A and B are shown apart, each in its own frame.
Chain A
């Protein structure tokens, strides 16, 4: 790597006039979905306010040229009008690839990898000189990230992975917290992106915790009951005239809590007759709970995760066979569907 070259490029990066922030990456909301600002932070780009201060100090264990390289990444993202979330994803990715060091050699998996983003010599990332130029390399990264249109519905590590296509999609999450700290320090502002969210979609929202009773049980949602278990007239054509769950009518985006401790056995698309996105938890003893109608970006747990009672696992949505935001909750005991209302009352919870 070349310090002088970096200095020139750094100047080039700083001289780029700040473009008006174009909000071209607004989240596309499905009908009925609340914008629920809590999930994502504002779309604005972050600007490096005090480049002169970069040569001193340490942020999250990174210092000197590493921080200057992070500033290149931010400047490249700002020039393209990327959101602060995208810019932070850029810094996180460079950390996960190179430790923010402009590496002029490859590794075992990629001997031709170069630079902050370890871009390979496969024609997609420009010349060797481009890949060793922090500003150009970051620009190449963001140019591809821009094409991932659903990236605001992906966790930061999954969004980074769509660009880098590495062997482990979860690789970058471990670097997110440090990236948030560096972006805050270099930008001199809180962008609203939170530490601890590198592997969840909602980077602007702290994962909540609901009230848990003495026996470890929690209400799945604080909304009122809107449809009970039992016979009914189907609200959507094609559904059976029997309601196999209990509906909590919490607001769009409001938290869905795990009913008790357990292991997540499904977190994704339709599952066991439930529509939209569905989470299922095995509480042991043959007891399963299921939570439905989330949007893809409202699923905040993954299959295999261990969760605690009252831990937020999702956000209320209106996906699938649904006529308004609510969470449909099912409980099975030894494979048999049971009435969640009676079950949760017997667990000592108060429902209304």
Chain B
């Protein structure tokens, strides 16, 4: 397909649409199977041709709340030494959050326990969950992310009650 055809197609598509996000040009010949292998990284020849978008359903809501509660449980352990505290928390965090929180000294943490159940605040993106978790030091807000329908929720931010982003 030539660039000129792209433009013509795009013009037709844009005429069909109102003010919402434009639809993609569906008839492009894109090697999606190769793309999926590329997305999945080397050594994943059996990856599905198209990555499956996650959805907000009861399972993923429950999983997000449970992960946020588990994360706060692991965070709220100022009595532990650094290694033990970190080995409990790090597996629940994304790679970026591990960089952010690795310098925390657990003795400085004012939280000692989770005091209730978490509450999902926001479903704007199917990839991001914002969950309130009540603790003995007030209500914390945990931001979680996931990369796909099959990937686990991972902690991104742990925000104390005194500060609202």
- Return the CB mask of A263-292 against B: 1 if under 8 Å, else 0: 101111101110000001011111100000
Residue in A closest to B48 when the chains form the complex, CB atoms: A335
A9, chain B: closest CB distance, angstroms: 27
B56, chain A: closest CB distance, angstroms: 12
Q: Is B43 an interface residue (CB 8 A)?
A: no
Q: Is B108 an interface residue (CB 8 A)?
A: yes
Are B104's CB and A165's CB within 8 A?
yes
Docked Cα-Cα span, A268 to B95, in Å, equals 8
Q: Is A128 an interface residue (CB 8 A)?
A: no
Are B110's CB and A167's CB within 8 A?
yes
B79, chain A: closest CB distance, angstroms: 13
Residues of A within 8 A of B125 (CB): 262-263, 265, 282, 284
Are A304's CB and B143's CB within 8 A?
yes
Instruction: Scan residues 44-83 of chain B and give those whose CB is less than 8 A from a CB of chain A.
Output: 50-53, 78
- Return the CB mask of B9-45 against A: 1 if under 8 Å, else 0: 1110110000111111100101110110011110000
Are A283's CB and B7's CB within 8 A?
no
Of the candidates B19, B38, B39, B145, the one whose C-beta lies within 8 Å of that of A266 is B145
Docked Cα-Cα span, A290 to B109, in Å, equals 35
Are A269's CB and B95's CB within 8 A?
yes
Are A169's CB and B147's CB within 8 A?
no
Q: Is A240 an interface residue (CB 8 A)?
A: yes
Residue in B closest to A262 when the chains form the complex, CB atoms: B125
Count contacts on B: residues with CB < 8 A to the other chain. Answer: 60
Docked Cα-Cα span, A335 to B47, in Å, equals 13
Residue in B closest to A331 when the chains form the complex, CB atoms: B24
Residues of B within 8 A of A260 (CB): 21
Of the candidates B25, B40, B128, B160, the one whose C-beta lies within 8 Å of that of A304 is B128
Interface-located stretch among A45-53, A74-82, A310-318, A337-345: A337-345
Are B165's CB and A170's CB within 8 A?
yes
B136, chain A: closest CB distance, angstroms: 11
Instruction: Scan residues 220-268 of chain A and give those whose CB is less than 8 A from a CB of chain B.
Output: 240, 242, 244, 260, 262-263, 265-268
Are A167's CB and B23's CB within 8 A?
no
Residues of B within 8 A of A162 (CB): 103
Residues of A within 8 A of B51 (CB): 272, 332, 335
Residue in B closest to A304 when the chains form the complex, CB atoms: B143
Are B30's CB and A336's CB within 8 A?
yes
Of the candidates B6, B100, B124, the one whose C-beta lies within 8 Å of that of A169 is B100
Contact A346:B10 (CB < 8 A) given known A166-B104, A285-B20, A287-B21: yes
Are B104's CB and A167's CB within 8 A?
yes
Docked Cα-Cα span, A343 to B6, in Å, equals 9
Are B163's CB and A174's CB within 8 A?
yes
Residues of A within 8 A of B31 (CB): 242
Contact A335:B53 (CB < 8 A) given known A168-B160, A282-B125, A285-B20: yes
Contact A343:B22 (CB < 8 A) given known A165-B104, A244-B35: yes
The 5 closest A-B pairs by CB, nearest first: A268-B96, A346-B10, A165-B105, A265-B127, A263-B125
Extra contacts, 4 of them, besides A215-B19, A269-B95, A348-B22 (Cβ < 8 A), are A109-B108, A109-B110, A169-B101, A303-B156
Please report B residues at the A interface, Cβ cutoff 8 Å: 3, 6-7, 9-11, 13-14, 19-25, 28, 30-32, 34-35, 38-41, 50-53, 78, 94-96, 99-101, 103-105, 107-111, 124-128, 130, 143, 145, 147, 156-160, 163, 165
Please report A residues at the B interface, Cβ cutoff 8 Å: 108-110, 158, 161-162, 165-171, 174, 215, 240, 242, 244, 260, 262-263, 265-269, 271-273, 280, 282-287, 302-304, 306, 331-339, 341-343, 345-348
